[in-house]
Amino acid sequence: MTSTTLEVLALALLPAVLWGFSPIFDKRGMAAGGGSVQASLVVVIVDSAIYWLVIAAVYGRSAFSGLTLEVLAVFAFAGVVGTALGRVTIFVGVDKVGASLNSTILSTRPLFATMIALVFLGEPLGPVTGVGIVILVAGLAALTASKGGDLTGWQPRDLLWPIAAAVTFAVANVSRRYGMLETPISALEAVALNETAGLIALLAYVVAVSGRDVLERPRASYRYFAGSGLLTTAAMLSLMAALGLEEGRIAVVDPLVATAPLFTLLFAAVLLRDLERVTKGIVAGATLVVVGAVLITL
């Protein structure tokens, strides 16, 4: 195994660990009195600021050369759907069903992305993808019957929140894929546009609907959400670095990143004992979802 291959594996595994750990911060923040809109704002402010600083350092005045109005609109749409709406539903899901269940169900987004891409982009649906869908659905069934997650309990309808988040991210990912096919800008620049559009949408919502009350939350919740934002940013930068290497093929990188829910289960079992219950049913369901997501991605 070459040093380059080891570098790709390390850079791809790091996002899985970080995205596996960030839901722990999310759950602690919600338990400390945080709110879904407040959490989304803090995370997006943190990652947007870092992305723009990195772009300024790497690209300077040449950033966003070749960007068209159409592509800008595509990434703005993806930001509003995936970053603004998607993050809000993520935090509601974390609060209602727990970090372990929410993180696992979020990994079903390849299922929805595949269906959307099949309809709108004409991407084929092969036999391996079909097997992956069956396994993933079986994983969802196992999760529904797992009796784990948030210690205060949850109803099957509460699973609609992480499912809704998975759908919004799937829609956003298909939009981003279309945008990347139509523009010469880098993935880092695209992510910055995406997150900035989401930030603008969240700020507009706060100004128009929620007002300052949505921000009047305990300081501890802000610290947890800022930590989640830092983990998310580092994970995304590591993922882009992995994909940017010559050996960083999607077939190598995506399966490793898809293991994030398994890390969430491990961290939740150790660090969220007072808030969540990790059962054998959750572990079995998460394993099936991860295997199904990998097959669908491949």
Render pLDDT for 183-236 as a digit per residue (tens, 0 to 9).
788 888 888 998 999 999 999 988 888 677 788 899 999 999 999 999 999 988
Residue 135 has pLDDT above 60, yes or no: yes
Residues shown for the chain:
298
Q: How large is the average pLDDT for residues 44-70?
A: 91
Sorting pLDDT into bands at 50, 70 and 90, what band is 255? confident
For residue 243, the model assigns a pLDDT of 65
CA–CA gap between residue 183 and residue 186 (Å, rounded): 8
- Domain total for the chain? 1
Mean pLDDT for the chain?
Answer: 86
For residue 1, the model assigns a pLDDT of 54
* Residue numbers of the domain that contains 113: 3-297
Q: 66, 183 in Cβ contact below 8 A?
A: yes
Residue 150 has pLDDT above 70, yes or no: yes
Q: Range with the lowest mean pLDDT among 131-145, 236-250, 263-277?
A: 236-250
Q: How large is the average pLDDT for residues 267-292?
A: 90
pTM of the model: 0.86
> What are the CB-based long-range contacts (under 8 Å, 24+) for 48-52?
48/192, 48/195, 48/196, 48/199, 50/230, 50/233, 51/188, 51/191, 51/192, 51/195, 51/233, 52/192, 52/196
For residue 95, the model assigns a pLDDT of 92
Sorting pLDDT into bands at 50, 70 and 90, what band is 266? very high
Residue 246 has pLDDT above 70, yes or no: no
Give the chain's radius of gyration (CA, Å): 18
Q: Range with the lowest mean pLDDT among 16-25, 187-196, 223-232, 238-247?
A: 238-247
Identify the burial level of 28 via C-beta atoms within 10 angstroms of its C-beta, where 0-12 means exposed, 13-18 middle and 19 or more buried: buried
Share above pLDDT 70 across residues of the chain, in percent, rounded to a whole number: 92
Instruction: Map tokens 């803090």 to a residue.
Output: 42
Q: Quick one: DSSP state of residue 79?
A: I
